[in-house]
Amino acid sequence: MRIIAGTARGRRIFSVSKNLPVKPISDRIKQSVFDIIRPRLPGAMMLDLFAGTGNVSLEALSRGAMRCVMVDREPACIKNIHRNLAHLGFEDRAKVLRGDILKPLDYLLAYSDNEGYDIIFMGPPYRDINNKMLSLSEPALKNVAEARLLAPKGIIILQTHKTEEFAVPAGLEIYRVEKYGDTLVHFLRETLREKKTDVE
Walk along the chain (200 residues) and give the pLDDT tens digit of each residue.
899 999 999 999 998 766 665 677 888 999 999 999 999 999 999 999 999 999 999 999 999 999 999 999 999 999 999 999 999 999 999 999 999 999 999 999 999 999 999 999 999 887 655 556 668 899 999 999 999 999 999 999 999 999 999 999 999 999 999 999 999 999 999 997 544 444 44
- Structural domain boundaries of the chain? 27-190
The number of angstroms, rounded, from the C-alpha of 169 to the middle of its chain's C-alpha atoms is 17
What's the CA gap between 191 and 112, in Å, rounded?
Answer: 22
What's the CA gap between 90 and 87, in Å, rounded?
Answer: 8
The structure's pTM equals: 0.91
CATH number of 27-190: 3.40.50.150
What's the CA gap between 71 and 103, in Å, rounded?
Answer: 12
Strands (DSSP E) along the chain, which ranges?
45-49, 67-72, 94-98, 117-122, 150-161, 172-180, 183-190
Nearest partner of 51 among 13, 9, 8, judged by Cα: 13
